[in-house]
């Protein structure tokens, strides 16, 4: 009996591993056949970035590529959103998401395929445009995964729901697609996956957070009102600049004195505008804030504290009540990776890249609208894909060496071929695992 058990364990396990490696070999062969073309696609996307809510050409490329891969495609869904569906028998539905927008940054990488694009933002100001958040990597991995899964239908069974999402950088795109009825029209997925480029880790490494990965993000506008006058006669005015300065300093006590120190929280005043000239006291000053929290109750308390402090400061200065607007549309909820899905998928990623290359990372106070795809209880998982060449990574680890350029900087660039290969391998394996043929 013991012998039989040992025999079964040996051959049973061997056949499972063999089946897995057979799948991996088939998948790797597809990826390697596509890689040169994916890098070409990457360079084309990188050189032609578009700002949030302006993803006209990018979304057309995504639609065309998904169609070519055999997906049924719906375009202009929730703005420039693209939805691709590929059915392959009965089984669960897996959503895979890539985001498409670039950032208003003038690229300074010096690459021969660097973006030269300039455009006007929605305020009409001319800006450079750059894929400085790696959304071009996301799209290339996304199309690579679509092609790989379409070429390996024998390895999985179920439905692929591939989403090319616009306007992530202004956290509007996921919401727009969901509000247009993504889940009611195309079916609620059983799982949702995404990857995000990591500018600080080498290619071949992925990292992830189990549970809370990214924070709640709120945008608050405060219009501080005063009474304008001559700069030489402040006693006849109510100076909104002095009042705004007081409000900014008072706001610092929310995190330091009001919130439990064990609850992470950020209140940043990122912009202050008021006045036109040295000797004029203006009527008003505009403040723009970003607020990051990780718990719903802390979010509520912090937003209430901002309002209370701004109003109280105005009372103290005999000023009119300030106008405070917490943006509904720019709110994005925290990204909370589903623990069961994380455990299952990271095991698969470890099989692809080697366990030591699948690392945990602490949560960030940054925000992403991928969290919205958990609507209705869909388990979600976003992992970070190392994108920097090993050589550049090693050089940056040396004492005194300059740090690698981070996300949203004008100098960030990935090593496209190896990063895309790792992205497609990991994402394809994760999807195949969730759609295992019984
Ligand atoms: Zn970004
Ligand atoms: Zn991003």
What's domain 26-214+334-434's architecture? 3-Layer(aba) Sandwich (3.40)
What is the pLDDT at residue 132? 97
| Nearest ligand to the C-alpha atom of residue 174 | 2
Nearest-CA neighbor of 214 among 251, 268, 287, 266? 266
Q: Please give the distance, rounded to the nearest whole angstrom, from the Cα atom of residue 71 to the centre of ligand 2.
A: 25
Ligand nearest to the Cα of 134, by number: 2
- The residue length of the chain stands at 438
Gap from CA of 133 to ligand 1 centroid (Å): 5
Instruction: Report CA(217)–ligand 2 centroid distance (Å).
Output: 14
Q: Which residues pair with 308 in a beta bridge?
A: none
- Which ligand is closest to the CA of 197, given by its number? 2
Report the pLDDT value the prediction gives residue 19, as an integer from 0 to 100.
62
Domain positions in the chain: 26-214+334-434, 217-326
Cα of 122 from ligand 2 centre, angstroms: 20
Query: Ion ligand 1 — residues with CB under 5 Å?
Result: 133
Q: What would the two tokens of residue 258 be?
A: 């009001």
CATH entry 1.10.10.10 includes domain 217-326: no
CA of 167 to the centre of ligand 2 (A): 10
Helix (H) or strand (E) holding 315: helix 296-316
Among all ligands shown, which has an atom nearest to the Cα of 135?
2
Instruction: State the distance from the centre of ligand 1 to the C-alpha of 2, rounded, in angstroms.
Output: 56
Q: What is the pLDDT of residue 17?
A: 59
pLDDT in tens, 407-417: 999 999 999 99
How much distance in Å is there from the Cα of 119 to the middle of ligand 2?
Answer: 20
- This prediction has a pTM of 0.88
222 CA distance to ligand 1 middle (Å): 25
Q: How far is the CA of 168 from the centre of ligand 1 (A)?
A: 7
Q: Which residues in the chain land under pLDDT 70?
A: 1-20, 438
Longest Cα separation, the chain:
99
Whether the Cβ atoms of residue 203 and residue 353 lie closer than 8 Å to each other: no
Residue 144 Cα to ligand 1 middle (Å): 21
Q: What's the CA-to-centroid distance between 86 and ligand 1, angstroms?
A: 28
DSSP 3-state of 63: helix
């Amino acid at each position: 009996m013991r012998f039989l058990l040992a025999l079964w364990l040996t051959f049973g396990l061997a056949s499972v591993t063999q089946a897995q490696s057979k799948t991996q070999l088939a998948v790797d062969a597809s990826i390697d056949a596509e890689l040169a073309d994916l890098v070409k696609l990457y360079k084309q996307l990188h050189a032609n970035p578009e700002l949030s809510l302006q993803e006209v050409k990018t979304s057309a490329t995504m639609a065309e590529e998904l169609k070519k891969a055999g997906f049924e495609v719906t375009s202009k869904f929730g703005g420039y959103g693209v939805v691709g569906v590929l059915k392959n028998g009965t089984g669960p539905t897996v959503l895979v998401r890539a985001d498409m927008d670039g950032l208003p940054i003038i690229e300074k990488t010096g690459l021969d395929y660097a973006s030269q694009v300039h455009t006007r933002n929605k305020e009409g100001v001319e800006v450079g445009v750059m894929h400085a958040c790696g959304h071009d990597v996301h799209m290339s991995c996304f199309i690579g995964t679509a092609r790989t899964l379409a070429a390996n239908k024998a390895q999985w069974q179920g439905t692929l729901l591939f989403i090319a999402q616009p306007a992530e950088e202004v956290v509007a795109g996921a919401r727009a697609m969901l509000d247009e009825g993504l889940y009611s029209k195309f079916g609620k997925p059983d799982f949702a996956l995404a990857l995000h480029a990591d500018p600080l880790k080498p290619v071949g490494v992925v990292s992830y957070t189990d549970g809370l990965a990214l924070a709640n993000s709120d945008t608050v506008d405060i219009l501080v009102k005063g009474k304008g006058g001559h700069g030489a006669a402040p006693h006849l005015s109510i100076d909104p600049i002095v009042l705004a300065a007081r409000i900014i300093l008072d706001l610092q006590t929310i995190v330091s004195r009001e919130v439990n120190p064990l609850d992470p929280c950020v209140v940043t005043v990122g912009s202050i505008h008021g006045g036109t000239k040295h000797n004029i006291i203006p009527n008003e000053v505009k403040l723009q804030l970003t607020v990051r929290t990780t718990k719903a109750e802390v979010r509520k308390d912090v937003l209430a504290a901002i309002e209370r402090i701004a109003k109280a400061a105005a009372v103290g200065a005999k000023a009119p009540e300030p106008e405070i607007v917490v943006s509904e549309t720019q709110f994005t909820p925290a990204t909370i990776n589903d623990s069961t899905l994380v455990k299952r998928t990271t095991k698969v990623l470890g099989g692809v890249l080697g366990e030591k290359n699948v690392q945990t990372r602490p949560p960030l106070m940054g925000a992403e609208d991928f969290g919205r795809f958990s609507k209705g209880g869909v388990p979600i998982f976003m992992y970070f894909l190392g994108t920097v060449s090993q050589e550049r990574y090693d050089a940056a680890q040396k004492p005194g060496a300059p740090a690698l350029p981070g996300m949203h900087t004008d100098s960030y660039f990935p090593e496209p071929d190896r990063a895309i290969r790792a992205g497609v391998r990991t994402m394809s394996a994760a999807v195949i695992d969730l759609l295992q043929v019984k």
